[in-house]
Amino acid sequence: MADCGCEPPPLDTLEQHRALKVALWLNAAMFVVEVSAGLFAHSTGLLADGLDMLSDAFVYAIALLAISRSARFKANAAGWSGIMLLILGIGLLIEVIRRAANGTSPEAGWMLGVAAVALIVNIVVLRLLSRQRASGDEVHLRAAWIFTRADVVANAAVIASALAILATGLRYFDLIVGAAIGAYVIREAFEIMKDARDAKASLA
C-alpha cells in the first residue's frame, strides 16, 4: 500500500511546519504589542518594528503554504514575500517623514522595554528557522530567515535609540532608527526577490 497516499508527511516537513507556525503566532502577537506601544509612546522605531512583525507573519504564512509544494511555487512565494517587504519599507520611510514634520517626543522607557521583548522573541524564531534553513536551504525558508535576521537588527537599533534618547532627550534618534529600519527592510526585500529570480531561473 505504498502508493495509497496515506503515508505521513516526511519528518523534515513536519519540523518546518512546526517552526513556521510558532514563528507566525509569535510575530502576530508582537505586531499587536509593538504597534500599540509605538502609538502610545509616539515612537517611530517601535511602530516600524511592529509593522515589520506583521509583514513577517504574512511571510511565515506564505512559507507554510509553500511546504510540500513545487520548487516553482516556493520561488513564487519568496518573490511575493520580497514585494510585500519592499512596500512595507517604502511605507515606513513615508511615515518617518510625516512624523519628522509633526511628531512628538517618544517615551524612551517604553521603547526600551518593548524592543527588548521583541529582540528575545526574534532570537528564538531565528534559531528555529536557522535549523530548518540548514537542513534544506529552500528559497521560501531562506526568505523567512532573512526577514527574521532583519528583525533582530531592527530590535537592536530600537534599543540603541531608546538608550540615546534617555541619555540626551533628543527625539531624532527615534526618527533616524525608523528611517534606517525602512532602508534596511528595502535592502532585504531586494535580496529576497533576487533569490526568488535565481531560483526560478534554475528551473527554466
Alpha-carbon distance of 157 to 39, in angstroms, equals: 18
Domain borders along the chain are 13-203
Low-confidence ranges of the chain (pLDDT < 50): 1-11
Q: What is the pLDDT of residue 3?
A: 46
17-55 tens-digit pLDDT: 888 888 889 988 998 999 899 888 888 888 888 877 887
Q: Which CATH architecture has domain 13-203?
A: Up-down Bundle (1.20)
Give the residue among 10, 17, 26 at the shortest CA–CA distance from 132.
17
Q: What is the DSSP string of 116-145?
A: HHHHHHHHHHHHHHHHHHHHH--HHHHHHH
- Half-sphere CA count of 179, side-chain side, radius 13 A: 10
Q: What phi and psi values does residue 2 have, to the nearest 5 degrees?
A: -65, -25
- Number of residues that make up the chain: 204
DSSP state of 7: P
Give the residue among 185, 186, 173, 169 at the shortest CA–CA distance from 44.
173
Q: What is the pLDDT of residue 138?
A: 62
